[in-house]
Amino acid sequence: MKTHTSRLACSFLLALSGLVSTQPCRADVPPSRFEKNSGNATIQKPADDKAAGEARAEADFLKEVKAGVQITELGCMRATFVFDENAEAFETRVTEAFSDADFRVFSKGSVIDGRVEPKALQDIGNDRLADLVVYTKVSGREKPKLGKLSLYEAEATVQVYNPMSEELLVSQTVRKDGERHIDPEVALRSAFESAVDAAVKEVIVKTLEKAHKILVHEAQLKGVQDHQHLLQIMEYTAKLKGVYHVRQLTYDKATKLAVIEIIGAPQTESFWRAYMENLPKHEKWIINVKHIRIVQNEKLRQKNKDWMK
């Protein structure tokens, strides 16, 4: 594993080699397809050659019943992070900024050398069951010294992709000068940190605009009889207004417990009760009001009181 110092040293050498982009800022992108998918959501099942996903602990509410449903508002969409080799040193700054904005983040990002294609980012996002893939790259160049004081200009590009479609949701490029310093490494780091912070701030604002009023819900369904029954439930869910994506996480034939993720707008409790009461039935699966529970994310709802208007 590279040390923080060696990563910056690598960036320093690249900067001296003149590897800096001169492309204009890329900020505006077409609107997200999330809203277009409302009522016609995509359905994602595990690939045949891959595990169905990490096991989920059964909700306490369901342990005492043979058939029941619990829907939990987990929070904002889940992001995984990818960095070029020069941006790896700033992983913590990027992930903490997204976490502070209420996105759910993976603790460890991926590092890719060279040119990155959207398909590679899509694969990483799907492997991690992520809803967004955030890619960060940086480069820099040395500017004229002032005596013994060094000065660098850094360029940071942060892009957000939808791993379900390879769609570029947001892209922002920022150039910033750092602080003049007698230590070249300190001067370079200050430039990189300034550019990365500015790009990430703008990207978060734009991502929240694109993903406004979108939450990840986890639905645990106990008593699902087989894979066909689960598929019927997912297809029914995908047709609901305000639902943009439905993903199967797990299904255990022995316990008949299925777990799916529903990405969509926050809804009222009456909406979810109506949803659960109208789920595709099965002769061995009888759901009544005692077998239904909705767990809302009160912290996010208090923070975003306009969601239910």
**What confidence score (pLDDT) does residue 162 get?**
87
3-state secondary structure of 187: helix
Instruction: Match domain 4-30+77-210 to its CATH number in 2.30.30.30, 3.40.50.11290, 3.40.50.10610, 3.40.50.1970.
Output: 3.40.50.10610
First to last CA, the chain: 49
* Predicted pLDDT at 56: 73
Q: What is the mean pLDDT of each run of 10 residues along the chain (309 residues)?
A: 43 39 33 56 69 68 87 89 92 92 83 84 85 93 91 94 86 94 92 95 88 86 92 93 89 91 89 87 74 87 75
Cβ partners under 8 Å of residue 84, min gap 6: 111, 112, 113, 116, 136, 137, 138
Q: What is the pLDDT of residue 46?
A: 74
Q: What is the per-residue pLDDT for 309?
A: 61
Strands 132-146 and 215-222: unpaired
Distance of CA 213 to the CA centre of its chain: 14
Whole-Å CA distances, 298 to 30, 74, 305: 32, 10, 10
The domain ranges of the chain are 4-30+77-210, 35-75+214-308
Give the model's pLDDT for residue 76: 84
> Using only C-alpha atoms, what is the Rg of the chain?
23
